[in-house]
Amino acid sequence: MHKLNPRTAALLSAFGWAVGYLLAGKVLAVLLPVPPGGAARFFRVCLLAPLAEEGVFRGAVQRRAQPLGRGQAILLQAALFALQHGSAAAMAYALVCGLGLGWLADRTGQLWPGMLLHSANNLLVLAMG
């Protein structure tokens, strides 16, 4: 059996986590739809999404992509994070946020600071309508 190059294995693992998150989110949206507004939307947008996205993108994806190099791992997770945000404007904004959050996770070695910032960001976006 052929063994994968560590860089190829890192890329495949990172992409696998991102695709798995995207598919799981689509399934959950169908199975557990959240009406617009209210506490359920706040919980999902300001608490659940930041926790899940930081865990997947800055946690699993960025850490698995480390064999590519620190900068490349940050860039890869930010690009995958941006791609799952829909419109071009949302993707551009998410790319910038993903780069900053990736840098923060790399710099601190922790996910919780990014989770707090991500939650605050989503709260502002939600408040702006």
Q: What is the pLDDT of residues 6-60, one digit of tens each?
A: 999 999 999 999 999 999 988 888 887 877 778 888 998 999 999 999 999 999 9
Sign of CA dihedral 112, 118, 121, 126: negative
What residue ranges do the domains of the chain occupy? 6-128
Tokens of 49: 């999404």
Rounded distance between C-alpha atoms, residue 105 and residue 113, angstroms: 8
Other CB atoms within 10 Å distance of the CB of residue 84: 18
Rounded distance between C-alpha atoms, residue 92 and residue 78, angstroms: 10
Helices marked H in the chain: 6-31, 38-42, 49-53, 62-64, 70-83, 88-108, 112-128
Rounded distance between C-alpha atoms, residue 128 and residue 111, angstroms: 26
Rounded distance between C-alpha atoms, residue 72 and residue 76, angstroms: 6
Q: What is the dihedral of CA 113, 91, 57, 7, to 10 degrees?
A: -130
- pTM for this model (two decimals): 0.89
Helix, strand or coil, per DSSP, at residue 84: coil
69-110: per-residue pLDDT in tens? 999 999 999 999 999 998 999 999 999 999 999 999 999 999
